[in-house]
Amino acid sequence: MTDPGLTDIWVYLSASPLLGLTMTLVAYGLGYRLYLRTGSNPLANPVVTSVALLIGLLLLTGTSYDDYFAGGQFVHFLLGPATVALAVPLYQQFSRLRQLWLPVAISLTLGVVIAAGSSVGLAWLLGASTEIQMSLAPKSATAPVAMGISEKIGGLPSLTAVLVVITGITGAVLGTKLFEWVRVRDDTAKGIAMGVAAHGIGTARAFQVSAQMGAFSGLAMALSAFATALLVPWLVDLVSVWLVPGG
Amino acid sequence: MQFLNGITLLLVYQLVGEVAVRLAGVPIPGPVLGMVMLFLTLWGRGGMAESVTQASTALLSHLSLLFVPAGVGMMVHFGRIADEWVPITLALLLSTVITMVATALIMQLTTRWLIGAGAGQGGRADD
């Protein structure tokens, strides 16, 4: 590093969005390859490995998150249009929904309330702070929606993103075993449960079991994203008014 | 050009959604409202242009990549996670298990009560 040119190059790169953006794509590419190498093991989820790699690199080089995010924001921004794009698989699976719309509506609504209620309730019982409880509340919804809700109800959106990914991995790893234990055999029921509890990561796992389970999981993911956005802020308001008299 | 048309349409729906939730003051993320409006449009028209399918397939097939920059944001919250890791871990694990089991059982029971035995199985996806 005696060459002053190298220092100049580093000064340029650390101030430019190019490095953060390229690092994100390269880290994800490496993480995805590792995921395929392990035979698509849910524990080697590419989000987990690439996030770990990037955090390690940033800490080693003493780069701040803000400097990294100057480049990372271009990838992050696409979460918005990706949420809008969920309308497409929802429409494609709409005909399947007609036959089972009532059971689906009941289980989705109750599932979304149970997901938010149990996470906030357990976190509260175990003594977590309000900020953590609110960050956990939308954890079963897909990340872009969960982050939006977290921000609205007073959680930390970036912490919620991490919790959403961990929730998805937990659901994908445990799901099929749990369904065996409680003797749920219908692929439609397993798919709905996977999509409500573990969003996109669970849906990817459901497609490995059967096309029908995958389709219903994708459907449940899209519908529960909407139900969570509608119900969770309202439930939080309701509970906080109830707990704080006159509040 | 196909892809460009598709992504433009998705952005227009997101933009309309963002503006509408701000005007109405409702606690729904703008993109979610955009998703609902796009769904209603597709339903009303009874189909969709190839460009929209292309753009959404491209975005959704790399959905997990889009979580990465937000996930890296965890480094800002290390202290908070370290302080409260027991309630965070337990609440997350137990709640996911409870949600998964309860939703699956509710769906299986309501399907059998309301539709009849076997309706949830087999290939009759559509009439």
- pLDDT for A126: 92
User: Are A133 and A223 found together in one domain?
Assistant: yes
Query: Are A32 and A133 contained in the same domain?
Result: no
Any B CB within 8 A of A55 CB: yes
Which of A77, A105, A135 is the endpoint of a domain?
A: A77
Asked whether the beta carbons of residue B115 and residue A103 sit closer than 8 angstroms, the reply is: yes
pLDDT category at A2 given cuts 50, 70, 90 is low
Last residue of a domain, one of A49, A77, A105: A77
The pLDDT-based confidence of A87 (bands split at 50, 70, 90) is confident
Based on the domain organization, do A164 and A53 belong to the same domain?
Answer: no
Query: What is the pLDDT confidence band of residue A4, given thresholds at 50, 70 and 90?
Result: low
B8 part of contact set with chain A, CB < 8 Å: no
Task: Check residue A246 and give its pLDDT.
Answer: 44
Residues A183 and A133 in one domain: yes
Q: Which of residues 195-234 of A touch B (CB under 8 A)?
A: 196-198, 200-201, 212, 215, 222, 225-226, 229-230, 233-234
User: Of A155-159, A191-195, B40-44, B116-120, where does mean pLDDT reach its minimum?
Assistant: B116-120
Same domain, A225 and A150: yes
The ipTM estimated for the assembled molecules is 0.83
Q: Do A99 and A58 lie in a common domain? A: no
The pLDDT confidence band at residue B126, using thresholds 50, 70 and 90, is very low
A131 and A223 share one domain:
yes
Any residues with CB less than 8 A from the CB of A193 and at least 6 apart, and which? A107, A111, A175, A179, A184, A220, B99, B100, B101, B103, B104, B107
* Among A79, A189, A92, CA closest to A143: A79
Single out the residue in A77, A107, A127 at which a domain terminates: A77
| Pair A39, A144 in one domain | no
Q: Mind listing the pLDDT tens digit for each residue in A197-214? A: 998 888 878 877 887 788
* CB nearest A87 (choices: B35, B71, B114): B35
> CA dihedral in degrees (A24, A25, A28, A34; nearest 10)?
-130
Q: Range with the lowest mean pLDDT among A38-47, A77-86, A214-223, B82-91?
A: A38-47
Question: Looking at the partner chain, which of A122, A192, A233 has a beta carbon nearest the beta carbon of B94?
Answer: A122
Domain with A91 in it = 86-243
> What pLDDT, in 10s, does the model give residues A49-75?
998 999 999 999 999 999 999 999 999
- Residue A28 shares a structural domain with residue A132: no
Based on the fold, state whether residues A133 and A221 are members of the same structural domain: yes
pLDDT in tens, B18-37: 999 889 877 677 888 898 89
Radius of gyration of chain A (CA): 20
From chain A, the residues in CB contact with B67 under 8 A are 47, 79, 143, 161, 164-165
Burial annotation A193-208 (CB, 10 A radius, 16+ → b, else e)? bbbbbbbbbbbbbbbe
Domain boundaries, chain B: 1-61, 74-119
Of B11, B72, B104, the CB nearest to A184: B104
Closest residue, chain B, to A220 (C-alpha): B103
Residues A71 and A148 in one domain: no
Across the range A100-108, mean pLDDT stands at 91
**Chain B residues within an 8 Å CB radius of A86:** 35, 56, 60
Considering only CB atoms, A161 lies closest to which of B27, B73, B97, namely: B73
| pLDDT at residue B123 in the model | 43
Inter-chain residue contact B48 with A164, CB threshold 8 Å: no
Do A25 and A65 share a domain, yes or no?
A: yes
Please state the domain count of chain A: 2
Q: Quick: pLDDT tens for A215-234.
A: 788 888 888 888 898 888 88
Residue B38: predicted pLDDT: 94
Q: Which of A87, A98, A110 sits opposite B106 (nearest CB)?
A: A110
Query: Residue B84, SS3?
Result: coil
- For the record, the structure tokens of A184 come out as 């749920």
